[in-house]
Structure 1
C-alpha cells in the first residue's frame, strides 16, 4: 500500500495501516520530517488545538468525526508513550467570553454539553482573575472543556514516523508526479524514482497537491489554499493558565518552559501578508489580562497552507474508485481529525479485502 503525503493525516494513516499488519510505503518530499523554516505544509505551522467537545454543533458528520478523533488521540498517545514515543499534551481548553452575547452563547453550549454528560464547566471571573486573565471589570468568565486540549503537532508527526519505522513502515522521500491505473492496482510515479512503484491501494493525503494528482484520473476536487500563521512570543510575565485559551478565534497556547504560541487561520491565498500579524497580536492583547502581548517579543514566525475544499464540506474522505482513497481538505482541523480520517481509511481498505 502507498500513502501519499507528509502531513499529520498521511502519517497517522500510514502508521495505523502498518500497525494493522499491512505493508505500507509513505511517499512525500518531506517523508523523513519537515523543516519548519522551509515547510509550507499546514501541519508544520499547526498549533495542535483539539476542539471537539466545545464544537458548536452536537450532531452530524463533523461532530462524530471530532468525537471519534478525540477518543483515538487519547488511546494513541498512551500506546505511543508506552513504546517510547511520547506526544506532549496539555489537557483542557478555555474559551473566553468577549461580551454578554458571547457569554449567553457559551452558557447555552455548556448546558447542551452537560446534558450529554460531557465534563464542561463555567469558570467565573474571580477564577480567571486568579489565573491572570483579567479583573472584575474586564473579565466575563469562560467555558472550560476538560477533555479537549492541545498536542504538539511536530512531536506527534515524529512519533508516528519513529514508531512506524519500528513497525516496518517504509519512508520514501520523493515527489509523486502521477498515478496510473493497472489491472490489479496502481502504479505510482515519483519524480526521482528510476522505476514506478506498484501498489494495490493508494491513499492520497497530500493536501493541496492532491488536486493535481487526481485531475488526470477524472476526479475534480478543487481546493482553495488558506494561509495559517503562527507567532512564537517571549512572555514578560509568567503564564498561570493551566491550558490553551481561545479568544475571538485566536488560539493562545502556553509553551513548556515559558513562551506562547499565538495563531489563527487568517487569509485566503498562498502568500503571507506580514501586515496581518501585528493586528493579530493586538487582538490577542485585548483578551482580559493579556495587554502585555501587544509588546511581547516575537521569537519566530511560522506559516503553512491549509486546503479548503471548494463546493464540498470539509474534510474529503472518499473512496474514489477501486484501490484509491482520498483524505484531504481538512482545512483548520488536520491535527484534530487525523485519527478519525486514518481509521476511516483502514475501515475502507479492510472491508474491501474481507469482501473478496
Structure 2
C-alpha cells in the first residue's frame, strides 16, 4: 500500500492538528481534518487563538526529561519553520528574545542558578540600570532580569492564519463534525459522528482537548485532563508617544504574565489564571492587576480585543500527552500552554512514528 492510498483522520484543529494536517499532506497522505468549528476554517477559533505565542525553550526550569528535550528540539526547529511559513504570509512576525523579570529574592536566585546551569546557552542578566533604559518603564520593584536571546515569540494569529490558507489552497478535506465514537475495524479505524455519519481511516490522530477520550479497550494507560481557561488581551497604551517599546525584547515575562510589544503603541498580554469553564467578571481585572507589580501605564491601557479558550492539562502526568496507544492510533493532546512552542517537535515525533509503523506494515505485507 502506497502513502497516497493511506488516509489519516486528524481530530481537532488547534495548533497541533492544523500543523500535522499540513505536514502529512505534504508527505502524500490523504488527510481528513475533523473539528466541529471548521464550518468556516478562516473564522474558526480554537483555544490556540488565546495564546501569545511565547517560545520558551532554553529557560525552562527543568534541564532534563522529555519536556526539556521537546522544548530544546522545538527551539532549534523554529527558525526553519518561520522561514517556511513566511513564504506564505508576509504578515507573520517572529520577535527574538525573552526577558524574565525578578520581582523577589526567590526569582533572583533562580535567575542566577539558570546562568550557572545553562552552559552553552547565551543568556545574560540585566541590572536595574539596563531596565531603566526601557520605554515604557519597568516597575521599580523589579531589581533585575534574565535575558534569553535564543527564546522568542511568534504571532500565533498570523501563524494559524497562514497554515489555514495553505490547507484551503491544498484542498485538504475539512469535516466540520464532532466525533462521537472511534472503534477499530480490522486494520482501519471507524469514526462515528454525532450526526450519524461515519468514515474509516488507516490512521487516527487525536489532537482534541478534554472532550474526547481514547476507547478503553485500546489503551492500558488511562489518563485524566483538567480544563484550564487561557486568555490573552490586545491592548493599546493610553498615551500615544512615538518610539514606544524602545529597546524592549520580543517579549517580557513576570509572575505568569507574558507581555508582547506588537506595534508603536499596542501590545498583547496573556496568562492562564482559571481552572474551570466558568466566566468570571473579575477575570480581566485579575489579568491586568495581579501581583501588585503592574505598572500604571498597563492599568490605564485600553482593551482592543479579548481572546479566550479552554485548554487541556494532564492530571498526574507531565504535559503534553504524546503516545501511540494502539496500531495507527496516536494521542497528541493536552499541551496546556505550550502547543505553539512544541508544534515543531510534536510534528517531528508524529511523522517519525507514522513512518516507522507504516514501514513495518509494508514489510509485513510484502
Shared fold, TM over 0.5: yes
Q: How does 1:270-289 map to 2 (within 5 A)?
A: 270-283=277-290, 286-287=293-294
Counterpart of 2:189? 186
Distance 1:239 1:215 in 2: 52
| Inter-CA distance 136–95: structure 2 relative to 1 (3 Å threshold) | closer
Distance 1:34 1:214 in 2: 31
Counterpart of 1:9? 16
What is the CA-CA distance between 1:215 and the residue it aligns to? 5.0
Distance 2:360 2:338 in 1: 32
Higher mean C-alpha displacement, 217-226 vs 9-18: 217-226
Question: For residues 87-129 of structure 1, what are the alpha-carbon distances to aligned partners after superposition, in whole Å with 9 as ceiling and x for unaligned?
Answer: 321111110111233222112202222x1x1121212222211
From 294, 301, 304, the counterpart of 2:299: 294
Counterpart of 1:33? 41
Distance 2:212 2:107 in 1: 38
Q: How does 1:113-124 map to 2 (within 5 A)?
A: 113=118, 115=119, 117-124=120-127
Correspondence 1:75 to 2:66:
no
From 101, 106, 109, the counterpart of 2:114: 109
Counterpart of 2:268? 261
Distance 1:66 1:135 in 2: 28
Distance 1:307 1:233 in 2: 26
From 59, 65, 76, the counterpart of 2:70: 65
What is the CA-CA distance between 1:348 and the residue it aligns to? 0.9
Distance 2:57 2:307 in 1: 24
Higher mean C-alpha displacement, 181-190 vs 56-65: 181-190
From 210, 231, 247, the counterpart of 1:208: 210
Counterpart of 2:237? 235
Counterpart of 2:28? 21
Computed over aligned residues only, the root mean square deviation of the Cα atoms, in angstroms, reads: 2.3
Runs (4+) off by over 6 Å: none
SS of 2:210's partner is helix
Instruction: Name structure 1 gaps, 5 residues minimum.
Output: none
| Inter-CA distance 111–271: structure 2 relative to 1 (3 Å threshold) | same
Question: For residues 14-48 of structure 1, what are the alpha-carbon distances to aligned partners after superposition, in whole Å with 9 as ceiling and x for unaligned?
Answer: 11211222221111122343647xx4x42121111
SS of 2:30's partner is coil
Distance 1:85 1:8 in 2: 19
What is the CA-CA distance between 1:270 and the residue it aligns to? 0.8
Higher mean C-alpha displacement, 235-244 vs 323-332: 235-244
Counterpart of 1:199? 201
Distance 1:58 1:161 in 2: 34
From 325, 336, 352, the counterpart of 2:330: 325
What is the CA-CA distance between 1:284 and the residue it aligns to? 7.0
What is the CA-CA distance between 1:321 and the residue it aligns to? 0.5
Counterpart of 2:172? 169
What is the CA-CA distance between 1:340 and the residue it aligns to? 1.4
What is the CA-CA distance between 1:346 and the residue it aligns to? 0.9
For the Cα contact (< 8 Å) 2:245–2:264, is it kept in 1? no
Aligned residues: 347
For the Cα contact (< 8 Å) 1:285–1:293, is it kept in 2? no
SS of 2:211's partner is helix
Instruction: Name structure 2 gaps, 5 residues minimum.
Output: 1-7, 362-366
Distance 1:107 1:34 in 2: 44
